[in-house]
Structure 1
Amino acid sequence: MPETVRTTITLVVLAVLVALAAVWGWNAATDSLPAKVDRPVCVDTEVEAGDRLYPQQVTVSVYNASDRSGLAGRTMRDLEDAGFAEGRTGDAARTKVGEVAIWSTEPAGPAVRLVASYLGDVDIERREGLGPGVTVVVGKDFGRPGEGERYVEVAEAATVCGPAVD
């Protein structure tokens, strides 16, 4: 086979490979990206009587009912440092809270008792929370969460809103 024919065949094969690579690259570059799957902030988990409930199993949301900027965020960081899972933070400016309150539809539940152990003299109100998990509402007189219980014993079966686990 003459060298010119061999060179021509080689160039044609290389041109076809470059064209195929260009088509594949264009399709890959213009293909839509996979959709982001939002994980739930918390999922309901059943705990049985006699179980121990730890901060890592409880999601907490913190809302600021004062004019102190950043109070909810700082309180959330402190509770996260204690092991609680992060829910939501925000303002509850139209709410009157002296120091700190917990809002929950299950005020005697184990998650509420555990969170309350970190907050000192806390008012616990039976009402819908503002965010997922246990809702903590901090007022202008609130300082910082303190040392709380490492866990609480579950007295009777309950549902706890805790972090989603992969």
Structure 2
Amino acid sequence: MATDTDHKDTSGPTMITLVLITLVMLFLGLHWVRQSFPDLASYADDSACVDTRVEAGQTLHTRDILVSVFNAGQKSGTASATMKRLEKRGFVAGDTGNTSVAGGVRGVEIWADSVNPAALLVAKQFGAGTQIVAGHDQLGDGVVVVIGDNMRRMSAPVESLVAEEQAYICGPPVLQ
């Protein structure tokens, strides 16, 4: 049977051990608090684009393409409504918003640095005669769609196309 003297023999060393642990944790805590925070700008990526190489003969799918949509017309909500339709077709959403364009955009224009398979696949969503225009500032990531007030209905969905030549496209980031 344990007596009071048995408890007194272990309570001193236990108390010393607990005080030492507390002092070590206090020292470590003060050390960590004094450390500077990491530069969050180094973690930020200004672009959601990942340059992706597409080979001639490779099939490109809507899920491989990042699209941004901007409204250059007077009808409110056109950009977000069009983005939702493109997302339903499998495209990856980039930016949406409003823009003003000198000279205006009557229907739909696809703004891309060059005619590439990504721009062609996006243009097919809006039907024959949709213009792909180079030389504009990039308003958003990926293939940029600019919509005017005279946009007609989107054509039948086109889910993929075969690249005729090698190109680089703006693809969505891949989660690993």
Q: Scaled by the length of structure 1, what TM-score is found?
A: 0.81
Percent identity, aligned pairs only, is 34
**Alignment pair present for 1:123 and 2:128:** no
Query: Where does structure 1 lack aligned partners over 5 or more consecutive residues?
Result: none
How far, CA to CA, are the matches of 1:79 and 1:2 in structure 2? 77
Q: Secondary structure at the match of 2:114?
A: coil
How far, CA to CA, are the matches of 2:126 and 2:33 in structure 1? 52
How far, CA to CA, are the matches of 2:17 and 2:153 in structure 1? 72
How far, CA to CA, are the matches of 1:75 and 1:29 in structure 2? 48
Say if 1:22 and 1:144 are closer, same or farther in 2 by CA, change over 3 A. Answer: farther
Q: Scaled by the length of structure 2, what TM-score is found?
A: 0.77
Partner of 1:133: 142
Partner of 1:50: 57
**Alignment pair present for 1:9 and 2:13:** yes
Cα distance per residue 1:56-94 (max 9 Å; x no partner): 111111111012222212222221221112222222124
How far, CA to CA, are the matches of 1:24 and 1:145 in structure 2? 62
Q: Secondary structure at the match of 1:106?
A: coil
CA contact under 8 A between 1:133 and 1:161: conserved in structure 2? yes
Partner of 1:163: 172
Query: Where does structure 2 lack aligned partners over 5 or more consecutive residues?
Result: none
What letter matches 1:81 in structure 2?
K
Cα distance per residue 1:92-131 (max 9 Å; x no partner): 1244111211122323x21111101111252322323422
Counting matched residue pairs gives 165
